[in-house]
Amino acid sequence: MVFEELAVEVMADLPSDRARHEVLALVERVRAAPRAWPDVRDPGATEEIREAFSARCWIQYTPHAGAIEVREIGWAG
């Protein structure tokens, strides 16, 4: 799993260990089934971009063979 720079910054700024745990749990669920979440790429775009949600967080990611690249993390908690 690869985190882009912005995602790393968001992880560092999350308000608690519980928040980080929730984000990482979502990342693990996505990693186990990366194409189970909706593809949200713009029409005509070639790069696959998907979004996954949990109770208080979401991630935007790109699946790669056997891995995911986390592009963005959101926290609403």
Q: pLDDT, tens digit, for every residue of 8-60?
A: 888 889 999 999 999 999 999 999 999 999 999 999 999 999 999 999 999 99
Q: Is 67 helix (H, G, I), strand (E, B) or coil?
A: strand
> Are 59 and 27 within 8 A, CB to CB?
yes
CATH number for the segment(s) 2-75 = 3.30.2310.20
pLDDT in tens, 63-72: 998 889 999 9
Global confidence as pTM:
0.87
Helices (H) then strands (E): counts for the chain: 2, 4
